[in-house]
Amino acid sequence: MSVTSIPEDGVSDAPPATSLLRSWLAVLSVAVGAFAFVTSEFLPVGLLTRIAADLGV
């Protein structure tokens, strides 16, 4: 745990709240994109046996 102290000039060195929000939104968007990419790539592979059975192959 860390202690954040405010310098004598009254300006905090902590990032603004909007910066933290934008950072987490970026992380969330990368996570959703990675999930969508991996799902779209591996879902057809998992369904190949069912697709083949429906096509009579």
| CA distance readout (Å), 28 to 5, 19, 32 | 30, 14, 6
Q: Which ranges of the chain have pLDDT less than 70?
A: 1, 4-7, 10-15
pTM of the model: 0.55
Per the structure, the complete domain to which residue 49 belongs is given by 19-57
Structural domain contains residue 3: no
Per-residue pLDDT reduced to its tens digit, 7-21 = 677 666 666 778 899
Non-local (6+) Cβ contacts of 27 within 8 A are: none
Residue 35: the pLDDT is: 98
Structural domain contains residue 39: yes
Structural domain contains residue 57: yes
| Distance between CA atoms of residues 57 and 49, nearest Å | 9
Structural domain contains residue 27: yes
| CA distance readout (Å), 32 to 21, 29, 39, 43, 51 | 16, 5, 10, 16, 27
Domains in the chain, number:
1
Residue 42: the pLDDT is: 92
